[in-house]
Structure formats: structure tokens, C-alpha cells
Amino acid sequence: MSLAKLNRLIGDPAWSASWIATRCYPKIYLGYLRRQSTRLKLNQPRFMLSFDCDTPADIDASARLSDYFKSFGILPVIAAPADIIEMDIGLFRALVTNGQEFLNHGSKHHAAIDKDGEIISTLSYGSLSTSEWQKDIVDADRRLRDYLHIDIKGFRTPHFGEFESRRNLIRLYKLLIKLGYSWSSSTSPLHVPLTARAERWTKGQLTEFPVTGHVDRPSQIIDSWSYSMPNAPQKTMVESIIFSLKTYRVLMSKGDNLFINVYFDPHQLEQQPCICEELAQYGRWAIARFDELYQNTTIRSSETN
């Protein structure tokens, strides 16, 4: 076990309980997802697909895949650093016209593709001072409004798995509220049973929507990074993603009102048509904006006192 994970287990008892429970008995995670759906007052299954456009390679891929998924009734949410949006403002404005929601994903470039074609992190909020990462968020808010002529209501932290300690999230949420944001999707799967904390910390002013994990390995995010990172067992991870997506889809088809929230880097997703085909099957449950979920949230008085 890494030192970082050990410190996390010691420093955040609630997250530790979630990690231990799902590691020992993965089916517990399904119970967490069902409780989340109850909190959101879902009367039917819901699905959200988002694209993290972290590198220039994602720009054109995001447009191509947006067209593909639109034919199935899915409008992916776009999370892109302002530096990336600035590279092709016209393309991203077209996605706005297409009806796609954008969220603040920071201002500066935070990833690059190396000479071997692998994505590497170039900026992490965990290595920045508080004033530095806060400035990155505020700058992005201003730039996205200028470039796209839209209001921004949500946020996703770059490389959020490195920036989701209790201390960091509390400070992050306070800033997002000052910016007038209503929601965040900046936490990993094991935060699903902990979403009440965001509402409690912010007195009901902000809702957190964690991304979804593999059904058999809940701590593993369903994303393209898992099969694209250096030395990743690509075939195994792709098969695991498809297995999880099919399992969730079967449960939803049988009336399980789950909320499945997944994201991919477009240029990596484009290389896996089998995953695209499985995601397309979720069109009947797709929502286009996180606001559609946020408007349904109910803050229980016992959880906000």
C-alpha cells in the first residue's frame, strides 16, 4: 500500500470505511448507488457521459464523438481547461450550440502527450498552493464565460483523484459557492456514500456527483485513463469496463433507478469502438445537464444541521 493511501485511510475515517467495505464486499457499492438515487429522488434510471478534453488531441475527437453519441440521444458534458478551449473556440462554441453543457476544469494545461503517445500530468492542484489552485479556477471561470458566452454552474478538478481529501474538498466547495456554482463532480467512486458531506459542509448550497466505479472493483473509476496509462493491462481493463457497463445497464433495464456517471478522454475513447457501442445503449436514460439532477436533490434536515 502506498504511503499516500495509508495517510488517506488514517486521515479520513468515513472514506476509509467506504474503501474497506467495498474492497471486502464489492456488492456493497451497489447499495451505495441505490442510496444515492434515493437522495436524488430519481423515479427512473439516469446516465451522464462527460468528456475530459485534457490535451489538443481531444479537441477534434470531442466533436466527432459528440456527433456520434447525439444520434443515440446522448449529449456529453464537456470538461476542458480554458487553455484547450482557446485553441479552437469556434469548435467548442458549436458544441454549446449543440446543447452540450460545459463545466469549469481549470484554466491552465494540466496534461500532455509524451513522445510515446502516453498522457502525462503536467499540473496537479495537490502540488499547488491554495492561492495558486484557486486562481486557476477563478481564471477559468472568467475565460469560459468570455470564450463561450455561457454561465458556468459546475466544476471538475483536474486529476481529481489527487485532490479529494476532506480538507481540500471543504476549501474547494467554499470557492465554488463564491463563484455561484451549484454542483461539482470532482470525487472518485468511494465518495458515493459520502455525498451528504458536501451538502452538510456547504449548508445545502452545493451538491457533489462522484463518478461511477467498476461494479466488481468499485474503487476503480470507469474511464479511459485506466486502460491507457503506462503498463496498463489494456485488454483486461477494457473488458472490465464493458462488463461493468453491461451489468449496470441490465440492472437499470430491470427497474433499478441508478445514476451512472462516467467520463472519458475523447481521443482515447475513440480508439475503443466497443466501449462506444456499449455507452450508446444508455441513450434512453441520458441526461444532458447536471442541473437536471441538481434540481431534484433533496437536502435532509438531519444531514445539514
Nearest to 265 by CA among 30, 28, 17, 65: 65
Residue 23 resides in a domain = no
Residues 6+ apart with CB under 8 A from 76: 49, 50, 51, 62, 65, 66, 69, 100
CA angle 26, 27, 32 (to 5 degrees): 100
Dist CA 41 CA 24 (whole Å): 29
Residue 17 resides in a domain = no
Q: CATH no. for residue 80?
A: 3.20.20.370
How are beta strands 154-155 and 207-208 bridged, if at all? Answer: unpaired
- CB contact at 8 A, 136 and 175: no
The number of distinct structural domains making up the chain is: 1
How many CB atoms are closer than 10 A to CB 263?
Answer: 22
In which domain, by residue range, is 262 found?
Answer: 28-304
Residue 58 resides in a domain = yes
Residue 12 resides in a domain = no
Residue 14 resides in a domain = no
Residue-level pLDDT, tens digit, the chain, 305 residues? 555 555 666 666 666 766 676 666 678 889 999 998 988 888 899 999 999 999 999 999 999 999 999 999 999 999 999 999 999 999 999 999 999 999 999 999 887 777 766 777 778 898 899 999 999 999 999 999 999 999 999 999 998 878 888 899 999 999 999 999 999 999 988 888 777 788 888 888 999 999 999 998 888 899 886 655 545 555 578 999 999 999 999 999 999 999 999 999 999 999 999 999 999 999 999 999 987 876 655 443 334 33
Q: How far is CA 13 from the centre of its chain?
A: 23
Residue 11 resides in a domain = no
